Structures are given as structure tokens and as C-alpha cells.
Amino acid sequence: MLEIKDLNVWYGGIHAVKDASMSIKRGEIVTLIGANGAGKSSTIRSIAGLVKGAKGAVTYTARDGERVSLLGRPPEVMVKLGISLSPEGRRILPQLTVEENLVLGAYSRSDGDGISRDMEYGYALFPRLKERRNQKGGTLSGGEQQMLAVARALMSHPDLLMLDEPSLGLAPILVSEVFEVIREINREGRTILLVEQNAFAALKIAHKAYVLEVGNITLEGTGADLLENPKVKEAYLGG
Amino acid sequence: MSTLPENKNPVRDNAMTVVATALLAAFLWWAEGHLDGYKIRIINLIAINAILGLSLNLIYGMAGMFSLGHAGFMAIGAYVSALLILTPEQKTAMWILDPIAPWLTGIHAPFLVSLLAAGLLAALFGWLVALPVLRLGGDYLGIATLGFSEIIRILITNLTPITNGPLGLKGIPSHTSLWMSYGCLIAALACVARLMRSNFGNVIRAVRDDEIAAKTMGINTYSTRVLAFTMGCFGGGVGGALMGNLITTIDPKMFMITQTYSLLMIIVVGGLGSITGSVVGSILVTTMLEWLRFVENPVTIGSLEIPGIPGMRMVIFSVLLIAVIIFRREGIMGMSEFSWDRLFSYRNRVTRGGGAS
Ligand SMILES: Nc1ncnc2c1ncn2[C@@H]1O[C@H](COP(=O)(O)OP(=O)(O)O)[C@@H](O)[C@H]1O
Ligand SMILES: [Mg+2]
């Protein structure tokens, strides 16, 4: 579904991603783990069209089989193609209500029925959001804001859902709740690219995993393999 | 609190709106019969400045783009409207420096059509400025619009066959009664309130507050900004046309940067991003600017005669503006809006609080 070949990201003189190559198959959960500053967000943001200085080849195969080269296209085109990003730090709109946030997430669509179906789907995944539908986003707790960010990213009805550190700053109990929902979304047939610092939780649910170190992909394998890998154990799972 | 409050009691609120509009109408009717021309002019000016403030607030407060070009768009509107409603005889008599462009003599339109044309042409120019400048991101808009506004003024001064150059246009047939200005104000308020309550209003806020979030939702932030700016320029053109029609004389010097500056004061004092604030700001700033005129007149204290200092009221006003920024940054209304609901719950709180003590 997504082929990334020799992706390079430069910010002025900073070479944030170096010749990274990855492959994502339809229906998988793929995770990209690595330390802070390794280049995970830069990679995922390049796919979403948010990084101007990205070079390389990123090829996306849409549901109808059409192959599209992504780099250089604006973010709204990616959303239309079925790629959606829940950005790092949630970035929900604090002044708008939960429901208004969700409606904005469907900005690229005009099928009213589909939009309300996806809104109900989001509320079914996160019943707490439904209780707070008329509450301002800024008044939600951190965990609820993260749920809103995920539900909002689903409102464009993506084939490929990209999540940038959905567990950041969440209490452990909420982390497992959010990861359970990610699994659930995947079971419904959606492909997921999950960027995480919380390697243990991410590897447990991932079909495939990549390790990014200072801009280079240094390891790849199935989630289960990497969980057993001594290097990963030492560096990311605390020995 | 940028969103408009939800309507919890629509029947009561609609009734209140009708009552308030009737009260305003009664006041205007009374004012027309009892107040002198100078006061009526100030009441008119309050409505027109509110329209202009609202249109600049759409650009700066609601869409977050710092623009210094409103005087230029007002000038376009004022000239378009005046040229459409001046009679052919007036036009041929007025151009003395250069003869008037022949095609211009014959064009004529009713006042309301001229207002629409004023808004549309200002919007067209706004769009043409926004297209290239907003490509560079919002940071260059301030300086680009400032330059545009000056260019428009210089063009108007020099395009004598069309604008009558520095002499300006005089004897513009007056249509700006209190009913006209307040009718336009109510229409403008209704349009902007509807817009900001709609999903597009939320899109504009999203682009202003979090560009990355807006982009990940598939919003084209560039075209949203271009659209918001163009709509604001439409309002600037209509407001400029009303202003020119109220004064019945326009010339290039009316549209200097100080004009934009007064509008900025209105929205900063009233509240950036607040519709209500644009009106409140206009009432305060318009009356203050008039009232402060006395400081520019000569004063006699005993045998000491102090000559008036031109421009002094702007100095005093700047000091007041700085005070607002220091003590109430967000302006009087902040980003919040008036609503009947809020008024009633405030009143309930006050009366209940009073009863308890
Ligand atoms: N917008 C930016 N401008 C300049 N440098 C950036 C920018 N975004 C990220 N970087 C740098 O690129 C490197 C990778 O950052 P990032 O992709 O955010 O890593 P991660 O998500 O893995 O923590 C870091 O050194 C970071 O400082
Ligand atoms: Mg990151």
C-alpha cells in the first residue's frame, strides 16, 4: 500500500531522516519506534505532505489500484487519497466542541450520511467522547483529547491511519485503552502506521516494525521478533 | 471562547432580537427628528465604522492575518460608488484639470447597486493582492497591504481622467441616512454572525489557531485565507462607499494610513475576533475621536492663549490605546460575543446574588 524508498528530510543544515526505506502492506499495523529526535515525526509528516524539504520516493497504492507518488503534494491531497494523520501533541482545537472538532475532521468530504456514520463509529470507539460531545475540546483531560485526536483523524474515512505518539503523556491504564482501540480500528480493515516511543506497547500490537536511530533505519522485522531482539531489549525495553 | 454561544432558548432570543431592533428603530426615528446634523453624522459614522471594523476584524481578528491595507480598499469602494451615482452633468462640470474619460461620463447606477459594485471591486483587488502574497505565508501581508494602500492613493491622485486627481469628487448625491447606515450594519452583522457560526467559521478559526491541525484535516489553509481576506475587502469597499457618501466629498487624502489606524483601534479596543467588539469599539472610538477634537482647538486660559496642535487627538488616542493594551490586552469583549442567553444568566446571577446577601 505504501512504499518508501530512500526518504531524506532536511531542515536547513539538519539531516533529520537519512535514506529511510519502509514498506506497509494493506491491513497491517506497522510501527516505527525510536528515541526522541530520531526522525520519526519527520518521516510520518513527510508522508502527510507537511514537510517541504522531503526527498526520495513515496509511492501510495490507492484502494482502486492506482499508484500515486506522494512527495511534493499538498496535505489536502493526501487526505483525499485516504491518508490521515493524527499529529504529535494531539492538536485538537480547544475552543471548539468535541463535535465541532469531529465535523472539521470531515472537511474533505461531502457525503453527509458517511460523515454521520463515521462520527457514530468514533463515538462507539470512545464512548466518553459521546458524553462530552458539546464540551469544548480544551476542557477535556489529556487522555480524552488523545481520543478526540484519533477519532478526528478517522473522520476523513482514511485507508491509512497514521498516529504520531498517541500514548504520549497518558497514564498507563489509558495507554492500554488507546492501544486496544488502535487494534480494533485495524481489525475493521484499516491500515495503521504507528509512531511510538513506547516501544513495548507498540511492538506488542504491530505486525511489522522498524527502528529509527538518528535518521537511519537500523532494524526491521515483525513486532514479535523485535520484542525478542537483544538490541531492542537493551535500548528500548529497559534491558 | 471564539465560538458564538449556542442558542438555548430560540423563541425568547428571537423575540428579544425583534424588540432590540424595534428599539433601535425607535431611537433612529427620534434622532432624525430631534438631533442636529452634526450629531446625526456621528451616529451615522458609528454604524459605518462598525461595518469597517467588522470587515477588518474578519481579516485580522477572526482569520489572524495582520493587514494594513483597509484604507486602500475603502478608497476603491468610495470612488467606485461615487463615480456611479454622480450625474453626467456633475461629472462634466467637475473635471477641470483634465477632461473626464469619455466612457465614464455616461455610467450611472442606483446607490444600492453602486454599493455592491464598490464591494465587488474592492474584493477583486483584495483577491489579486492576496493570491501572490499569501503564498509566502501570512508574515508578509502587513507590509504588502501597506504598500498596496499607498499605491492606490498615489494612483487615485494621478489618474485624473478617472478620479479628478487631488481635487477629489464633490457634491456626491447623499443617500446615507441613518436608515441606510444602520440597515447596512445590521445586514453586515447578520452575514458575519452566520458565517462565523457555520462550519466555515470553524475552518477559519482552525487556520488561525493551528495551521498544522488544519492541514492534517485536509483544509487548504492558503485558499481559506485568500477567501477570508477577499470577504473582508468586500466589507472595506462597502464601508468606504458609505463613508464617502456620508461626507459627500472624497479626495485621496481621506484614505491615508491613519484611516486604517483608526479601524485597528476600533477592533483592538473592542476585541480582536469579536463581532460584538467591533460594534462596541466603533461606538467608543468614533465618539472619542470626535470628542477629542477640542484638544486641537485653541484654548484661552486667562490671558494665556494656547494655539491648537493639529494631530494632538491622535497622540492622546495612542496613549489611550497603549493603556488598553497594557490593562486589557484582549480588548473590551475579548473574543467573546454578546448573546441574550449570556445577558439573562448574568442578570440572574446579579439578582440572585443580591437577594442572598
Ligand atoms: N521543523 C523543524 N525544523 C528544524 N529541525 C527540526 C524540525 N522538526 C524536527 N527537527 C529536527 O529533526 C530531528 C528529528 O526530529 P523528529 O522527526 O521530530 O524526531 P522524533 O519524532 O523521532 O522525535 C531532530 O533533531 C529535530 O530537532
Ligand atoms: Mg516526534
Q: Is the pLDDT of residue B3 over 70?
A: no
CA B49 to chain centroid, in Å, comes to 4
The alpha carbon of B302 and the centre of ligand 1 are apart by a number of angstroms equal to: 72
Confirm whether B41 is domain-assigned: yes
Segment B133-142 mean pLDDT = 86
Q: Give the pLDDT confidence of B256-296 residue by residue, as tens digits.
A: 998 999 999 999 999 999 999 999 999 999 998 888 877 77
Segment B126-144 mean pLDDT = 90
For residue B36, the tally of other CB atoms under 10 A from its CB is: 7
Distance CA B245, CA B266 (A): 21
Segment A45-52 mean pLDDT = 95
Whether residues B217 and A80 touch (CB distance < 8 A) is answered with no
Distance from CA of B8 to the nearest CA of A (A): 13
Distance CA B113, CA A23 (A): 61
SS3 assignment, position A80: helix
For residue A168, the tally of other CB atoms under 10 A from its CB is: 15
Residue among A46, A61, A49, A59 nearest A8 (CA):
A46
The alpha carbon of B344 and the centre of ligand 2 are apart by a number of angstroms equal to: 47
Q: Is the pLDDT of residue B1 over 60?
A: no
Percent helix / strand / coil, chain B, rounded to 5: 75, 0, 20
Q: Does residue A39 have its Cβ closer than 6 Å to ligand 1? A: yes
Residue of B nearest to A51 (CA): B212
Distance CA B209, CA A58 (A): 30
Residue B6: band (very low, low, confident or very high) from pLDDT cuts 50, 70, 90: low
Distance CA B56, CA B70 (A): 7
Cell reading at B147: 504598500
Distance CA A122, CA A161 (A): 14
pLDDT for A87? 95
Distance CA B345, CA B332 (A): 19
Rounded to 5°, the CA angle A161-A164-A168 comes to: 135
Architecture of domain A1-82+190-239: 3-Layer(aba) Sandwich (3.40)
Segment B294-305 mean pLDDT = 76
Segment A204-227 mean pLDDT = 92
Any chain A CB within 8 A of the CB of B198?
Answer: no
Any chain B CB within 8 A of the CB of A50?
Answer: yes
Q: Is the pLDDT of residue B139 over 80?
A: no
Looking at chain B, the whole-number percentage of residues with pLDDT higher than 70 is 95
Q: Does residue A167 have its Cβ closer than 6 Å to ligand 1? A: no
The alpha carbon of A89 and the centre of ligand 2 are apart by a number of angstroms equal to: 9
Q: Which residues contact A46 (CB under 8 A, 6 or more apart)?
A: A7, A9, A17, A54, A58, A71
Mutate to test the interface with B, among A93, A119, A133 (most CBs of B within 10 A): A93
Query: H or E segment at B206?
Result: helix B199-209
Residue B352: band (very low, low, confident or very high) from pLDDT cuts 50, 70, 90: low
Q: Which residues contact B136 (CB under 8 A, 6 or more apart)?
A: none
pLDDT for B266? 94
Cell 484604507 belongs to which residue? B71
Q: Does residue A41 have its Cβ closer than 6 Å to ligand 1? A: yes
Q: Is the pLDDT of residue B247 over 70?
A: yes
Which range is least confidently modeled, A167-181, B75-89, B280-294, B310-324?
A: B310-324
Phi, psi of B163 (to 5 degrees): -110, -5
Query: pTM value?
Result: 0.90
Q: Where are the domains of chain A?
A: 1-82+190-239
Taking the CA atoms of chain B, what radius of gyration do you get in angstroms? 22
Whether residues B212 and A92 touch (CB distance < 8 A) is answered with no
What residues in B contact A87, CB-CB < 8 Å? 212-213, 216
Segment A109-121 mean pLDDT = 94
Looking at the structure of chain B, the number of domains it has is 1
Confirm whether B306 is domain-assigned: no
Distances (CA, A) of A22 to A19, A83, A110: 10, 16, 33
Residue B2: band (very low, low, confident or very high) from pLDDT cuts 50, 70, 90: very low
Structural domain boundaries enclosing B138: 13-255
Q: Which residues contact A203 (CB under 8 A, 6 or more apart)?
A: A31, A33, A209, A223, A224, A226, A227, A232
pLDDT for B174? 95
**Pairs of residues, one from chain A and one from chain B, whose beta carbons lie less than 8 Å apart:** 70
CB B150 within 8 A of CB B75: no
Segment A19-35 mean pLDDT = 95
Give me the helices (H) in A48-126, please. Answer: 75-81, 98-105, 112-125
Mean pLDDT for chain A overall: 93
Looking at chain A, the whole-number percentage of residues with pLDDT higher than 70 is 100
Segment B188-213 mean pLDDT = 95
Cell reading at A46: 513527510
Segment B170-188 mean pLDDT = 96
For residue B31, count CB atoms less than 10 angstroms from its CB and return exposed for 0-12, middle for 13-18, buried for 19 or more: middle
Segment A73-97 mean pLDDT = 95
DSSP E strands, B87-219: none
Whether residues B219 and A104 touch (CB distance < 8 A) is answered with yes
Q: Give the pLDDT confidence of B44-78 residue by residue, as tens digits.
A: 999 999 999 999 999 999 999 999 999 999 999 99
Residue B348: band (very low, low, confident or very high) from pLDDT cuts 50, 70, 90: confident
Distance CA B252, CA B164 (A): 10
Whether residues A80 and B218 touch (CB distance < 8 A) is answered with yes
DSSP E strands, chain A: 2-11, 14-24, 29-33, 54-61, 67-69, 83-86, 160-164, 191-196, 208-213, 216-222
pLDDT for B7? 61
Give the ipTM of the model, two decimals please: 0.93
Distance CA B101, CA B104 (A): 6
Segment B9-32 mean pLDDT = 88
Q: Give the pLDDT confidence of B23-51 residue by residue, as tens digits.
A: 999 999 999 999 999 999 999 999 999 99
In order, the DSSP letters of B315-348 are HHHHHHHHHHHHH-TTTTTTT----HHHHHHHHH
Any chain A CB within 8 A of the CB of B3?
Answer: yes
Residue of A nearest to B198 (CA): A100
Given phi > 0 = left and psi -120 to 50 = alpha, else beta, which region is B244? alpha
DSSP letter assigned to residue B61: I
The alpha carbon of A15 and the centre of ligand 2 are apart by a number of angstroms equal to: 15
Q: Is the pLDDT of residue B355 over 60?
A: no
pLDDT for B325? 77
Q: Does residue A46 have its Cβ closer than 6 Å to ligand 1? A: no
Distance CA B67, CA B260 (A): 9
Cell reading at B335: 473574543
Atom of ligand 1 nearest to the CA of A36: 23
Residue B157: band (very low, low, confident or very high) from pLDDT cuts 50, 70, 90: very high
Q: Is the pLDDT of residue B230 over 60?
A: yes
Nearest to B220 among A76, A85, A103 (CB): A76
Confirm whether B279 is domain-assigned: no
Q: Is the pLDDT of residue B5 over 60?
A: no
What residues in B contact A107, CB-CB < 8 Å? 203, 217-219
pLDDT for B300? 76
Cell reading at A50: 507537511
Q: Is the pLDDT of residue A232 over 90?
A: no
